[in-house]
C-alpha cells in the first residue's frame, strides 16, 4: 500500500498530498511532523463524533453522550481503526522508533489517524473530514448500543459473570504515567477462567478500572 | 433585549428559533433543556478555536496550541463573553436558580454560550457556527500573545513582580468540588500590595494555581 491507496480507502482525494505525508510523519522522523495536525484532528474527530451521537440518539442525556464518545475516540479504538487501514506500514519513523516496533505502537497509530483527520480537514474542509471520520469509525458507530455503553462497565461485567456463575474479575494497577498533575493510570482487569486480561487507562484508578472492565466485557461477551 | 436581538448580535438568523430557546433553557427550568446542545457546542467551540489557532500561529508547537486553547475556552473566558452578550437576562431558569442569582453564575452562562454555539451548528452547519464563535471570541482571539500565553503563568507572574521589587504572590486553596475521580480545585492567588485576589480552577491544585496566576498576571499587567 502507498499514500494514494490510503487516500482512496479514506475516500478523500487530497489537493495537497504533502499534508497526508506530514500526517504520517512521526516526531522521531522529522521536526516537520504530525503533532500540530494531530492537535487539530483530535478536535475535529471529537466534534464529528459528538454530532453523530447527538443526531443518532435524540433521547440520550448529555452524560451518556459524553461517555459513549469517550469510548469511541479513545486510543484503543483509534489504534484498531488505524491498524485496519494499514497505516502502520506508511508511517515515517525515526531509526530508533522503527527498531523498537513503533509501527505497531497504539499511541503512534492512534495519533497518526487523528493527524490524518486534521489533514483532510485542512485540505477539504469540515464536511470532507466528517465523511472520512464516519467512514473510518463506521464499524464502531454502527455498533453503539447505548443501553450497554451508558451502563457502568464494572457493573455490567459483574452482572454478566454472575449470570454465568463465574468468579468476579480482578483489577490491578499495572502502570502509572505522567507527572503528579496529569497522571495516567493503567489497570488490568483479569478473568482467569476466560483467559481475559484487558488493560484500560484513565486519569484516575477508578476511570482506568471502568475502561478495563468495558474492554473485558466486550471480549467476554463478543459485544 | 430578546432572543431576536441576541440572534442579530450573534450574526445568525435561526431557521428554527426553538433551538435558541432550548439553548437558553437551564435544567432547573425544564427537562427539555440545553445540556445536549452544550455537549455538542463545547466540541464545536473546541474545533473552531483549534482551527483558528492552527492557522494563525503556523510556528507554534502542539503543546502551546493546546495551552492557549484551554485558556480561550475555559469557563471564565466564556462567562465574560456570555455576560458581554447579555445572555443572563434571556436565560430560562427554575424558581430556585432565579432566586439564588443563577443569571449571574459563571457556570450557567458559560454553558449557555456553548449551547448557543451548538444550536447555531444544528441550525446552520459548521461554517455558521464558526462565524459565530469567531465573532463572539474575537476580542480574545485578537488578544492572543503566544509569547505570553505559552510561558508558565506562575513563572511569568513571579518575574513580573520581582522586576518591580514586589513580594511574591500567595496561593491558597479556597474550594474543592466533585467526587474523588473528577475533582475540581479552586485556588486563590493574592497579591496584597496590588489588592489583587484572582481565583483559578483546574483538575489539580497545580493546574488551578497556574490558572489563578494567569488571571492575576493579566490583572497586574493589564495584558
The tally of CA atoms less than 13 A away on the side-chain side of residue B163 is: 8
Q: Give the mutation candidate from B57, B60, B62 for the A interface (greatest A CB count, under 10 A).
A: B62
pLDDT over 90 percentage in chain A: 59
User: B126-141 and B35-56 helices cross at what angle (nearest 10)?
Assistant: 60
Residue A12 is given by DSSP the state: -
The ipTM of this complex is 0.72
For every residue of A148-216, DSSP letters joined together read HHTS-HHHHHHHHHHHTT-PPPEEEEEEEES-GGG-EEEEEEEEGGGTEEEEEEESSHHHHHHHHHHHH
* DSSP H/E element including B170: strand B170-177
Distance (Å, whole) CA B217 – CA A126: 36
Judged by a CB distance cut-off of 8 A, whether residue B61 touches chain A is yes
If you average pLDDT over residues A138-156, what whole number do you get? Answer: 78
Average pLDDT over residues B101-108: 94
DSSP structure class, residue B25: B
Q: Decide if A112 contacts A82 (C-beta within 8 A).
A: yes
Q: Which range among A111-125, B38-52, B183-197 shows the weakest confidence by mean pLDDT?
A: B183-197
Quick check: A159 pLDDT over 60? yes
Are A46 and B69 in contact, with CB atoms under 8 Å apart? Answer: no
Is B83 one of the catalytic residues?
Answer: no
- Name the closest residue on chain B to residue A52, using Cα atoms: B40
Closest CA to A208 of A76, A91, A39: A76
CA-wise closest residue to B110 among B81, B144, B130: B81
Alpha-carbon torsion (A58, A64, A68, A73), positive or negative: positive
What lies within 8 Å, CB to CB, of B106 at 6+ separation is: B75, B76, B79
Task: Please determine, for residue B91, whether its predicted confidence score (pLDDT) is greater than 80.
Answer: yes
Taking a C-beta distance cutoff of 8 angstroms, is the pair A65, B37 a contact?
A: no
Report the predicted TM-score, pTM, of the whole model to 2 decimal places: 0.72
CB atoms within 10 A of CB B58: 7
Q: Which of A50, A122, A127 sits opposite B43 (nearest CB)?
A: A50
Pair B169, B190: CB distance under 8 Å: yes
Helix (H, G, I), strand (E, B) or coil at A131: helix
CB contact under 8 A, A180 and B121: no
CATH number of the B153-221 domain: 3.30.160.20
**Residue B95, pLDDT above cutoff 90:** yes
- pLDDT, mean over chain B: 90
Q: What are phi and psi of A188, to 5 degrees?
A: -100, 135
Chain segment B196-222, per-residue pLDDT in tens: 999 988 878 888 898 899 888 888 876
Q: Does residue B179 belong to the interface with chain A, where contact is any CB pair within 8 Å?
A: no
> What pLDDT, on a 0 to 100 scale, did the predictor assign at position B151?
66
Look at residues B93, B107, B114 and name the one whose alpha carbon lies nearest to residue B30: B93
B3-143: CATH, from 1.10.3720.10, 1.10.10.10, 3.30.70.360, 1.10.1520.10: 1.10.1520.10
Q: Where are the domains of chain B?
A: 3-143, 153-221
**Enclosing H/E stretch for A43:** helix A35-56
pLDDT of residue A178: 73
Judged by a CB distance cut-off of 8 A, whether residue B178 touches chain A is no
Across A170-192, average pLDDT: 84
Answer whether residue A182 shows pLDDT above 70: no
* Chain B residue with minimum CA distance to A203: B181
**Buried b vs exposed e over A89-128: b needs ≥16 C-beta within 10 Å?**
ebbbbeeebeeeebbebeebbbbbbbbbbbbbbbbbebeb
Which pLDDT belongs to residue A153?
83
Per-residue cell: A137: 469509525
pLDDT at B204: 82
Residues 6+ apart with CB under 8 A from A8: none
B-chain residues near A121 (CB < 8 A): 51
Over 60: is that where the pLDDT of A223 sits? no
Minimum CA–CA partner of B209 in chain A: A181
Cell of A174: 499495572
Render pLDDT for B163-184 as a digit per residue (tens, 0 to 9). Answer: 888 888 999 998 887 766 667 8
Distance (Å) of CA B86 to CA A160, B12, B18, B82, B128: 51, 16, 19, 6, 21
φ, ψ for residue A222 (rounded to 5)?
75, 10
pLDDT of B101: 94
**HSE-up (13 A, CA, CB side) for residue B8:** 5
**Chain segment A18-66, per-residue pLDDT in tens:** 999 999 999 999 999 999 999 999 999 999 999 999 999 988 889 889 8
Grid coordinates of A61: 442525556
- Chain B residues inside the 8 Å CB shell of A127: 126
Q: How far apart, in whole angstroms, are the C-alpha atoms of residue A211 and residue A189?
A: 9
Distance from CA of B164 to the nearest CA of A (A): 30
Amino acid at each position: 500500500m502507498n499514500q494514494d491507496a490510503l487516500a482512496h480507502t479514506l475516500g478523500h482525494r487530497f489537493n495537497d498530498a504533502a499534508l497526508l505525508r506530514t500526517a504520517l510523519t512521526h516526531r522521531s522522523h522529522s521536526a516537520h511532523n504530525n503533532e500540530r495536525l494531530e492537535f487539530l484532528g483530535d478536535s475535529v474527530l471529537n466534534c464529528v463524533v459528538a454530532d453523530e451521537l447527538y443526531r443518532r440518539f435524540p433521547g440520550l442525556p448529555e452524560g451518556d453522550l459524553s461517555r459513549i464518545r469517550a469510548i469511541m475516540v479513545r486510543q484503543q479504538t483509534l489504534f484498531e481503526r488505524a491498524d485496519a487501514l494499514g497505516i502502520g506500514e506508511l508511517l515515517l519513523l525515526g531509526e530508533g522508533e522503527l527498531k523498537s516496533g513503533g509501527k505497531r505502537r497504539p499511541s503512534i497509530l492512534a495519533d497518526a489517524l487523528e493527524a490524518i483527520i486534521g489533514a483532510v480537514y485542512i485540505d477539504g474542509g469540515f464536511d470532507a473530514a466528517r465523511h472520512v471520520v464516519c467512514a473510518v469509525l463506521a464499524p464502531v458507530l454502527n455498533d453503539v448500543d447505548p443501553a450497554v455503553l451508558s451502563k457502568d462497565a464494572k457493573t455490567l461485567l459483574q452482572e454478566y459473570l454472575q449470570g454465568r456463575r463465574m468468579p468476579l474479575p480482578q483489577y490491578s494497577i499495572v502502570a502509572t504515567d505522567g507527572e503528579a498533575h496529569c497522571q495516567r493510570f493503567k489497570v488490568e482487569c483479569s478473568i482467569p477462567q476466560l483467559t481475559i486480561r484487558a488493560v484500560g487507562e484513565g486519569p484516575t484508578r477508578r476511570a482506568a478500572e471502568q475502561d478495563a472492565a468495558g474492554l473485558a466485557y466486550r471480549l467476554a461477551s463478543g459485544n
